[in-house]
Amino acid sequence: MSKWIDIAALEDIPKRGARVVKTAQGCVAVFRTASDEVFALNNSCPHKGGPLAEGIVHGASVTCPLHNWVFSLETGLAQGADEGQVGTYPARVAGGRIELDAAFLAARSAA
């Protein structure tokens, strides 16, 4: 069973936007789609490390701001001809709050 940690209000991220959560092992990008789903991914593009949180969100995908690779927010897989995968983490919205999985955060914080 996951234990969920409260991160912020859903409204703290704009629709079709993202913000980062800092952990000891780098940033996690938390995305909010137009339909108010949230996803958490490593904030580092497998191509050349582009910060995915700065990308344009469309549908359930994000386009990397550096060279336009497109990734699925749900699986982290690169779309189209590009190959690669970004790590994804459990995230959910409960009662208007964004929550991340405690076990995963603990793992990332224990530097």
Partner 1 sequence: MKQKLIIIGAGMATGRALETLLETAPDAYEVTLFNAEPRGNYNRIMLSPVLAGDKTYAEIETHSAQWYSDNNVTCRFGEKIANIDRAAKTVTAQNGDVLPYDKLMFGTGSTPFIIPLPGHDLEGVIAYRDLEDTERMMSLGPDNTCVVIGGGLLGLEAAAGMAARGVDVTVVHIMGHLMERQLDEAAGYLLRKALVDKGITIKCSANSKEILGTDGHVRALLLDDGTELPCDLLVMAVGIRPNVALASEAGLAVGRGIHVDDQMLTSDPDILAVGECVEHDGAIFGLVAPLYDQAKVAAQTLLGTHAAFAQKELSTKLKVTGCDLFSAGDFADGEGREDIVFRDPARGVYRRLVIENNIVIGAVMYGDTADSNWFFGLIRDKTDISDMRDTLIFGPAYQGGTQLDPLAAVAALPRDAEICGCNGICKGQIEDAIAAGAGDLAAIKATTKASASCGTCTGLVEQVLAVTLGDDFVLPAAASICACTDMTHEDVRRMIKSQRLTSMPAVWQECGWKTSCGCHVCRPALNFYLLADWPLDYADDPQSRFINERKHANIQKDGTFSVVPRMWGGITTPDELRAIADAADKYMVPTVKVTGGQRIDLLGVKGEDLPAIWADLNAAGMVSGYAYSKGLRTVKTCVGTDHCRFGTQDSTGLGIKLEKTLHGAWTPHKLKLGVSGCPRNCAEATCKDIGIICVDSGFQISIGGAAGMDVKETELLMQVATEDEAIAVIKAVTQLYRENAKYLDRIYKWMAKVGLDWIKERIQDDLDGRAALVKRFELSQSIYRHDPWAAHAKDKAASYQPLARFDLEAAE
Residues at the site binding partner 1, with contacts judged by CB under 8 A: 5, 7-8, 12-17, 19-24, 27, 30, 33-37, 48-51, 54-61, 63, 65-66, 68, 70, 72-75, 98, 102, 105-106, 108-111
User: How far is C-alpha 87 from the geometric centre of its chain's CA atoms?
Assistant: 9
- How many residues of this chain interact with ligand FES, rule: CB under 6 A? 9
Distance CA 12, CA 25 (A): 23
Site for ligand FES in 12-71 (CB under 6 A): 45, 47-50, 64, 66-67, 69
- Which CB, 3 or 84, lies closer to ligand FES? 84
* Residue 2 binds which of ligand FES, partner 1, none (CB < 5-8 A, kind-dependent): none
Task: Build a one-symbol-per-residue string for 64-103: x at contacts with ligand FES by CB under 6 A, - elsewhere.
Answer: x-xx-x----------------------------------
Q: Are 32 and 38 in contact (CB under 8 A)?
A: yes
Q: Are strands 61-63 and 56-58 parallel, antiparallel or unpaired?
A: antiparallel
CB atoms closer than 10 angstroms to residue 52: 29
Instruction: Please enumerate in sequence order all residues whose Cβ is within 8 A of that of 11, keeping only pairs 6 or more positions apart, or say none.
Output: 96
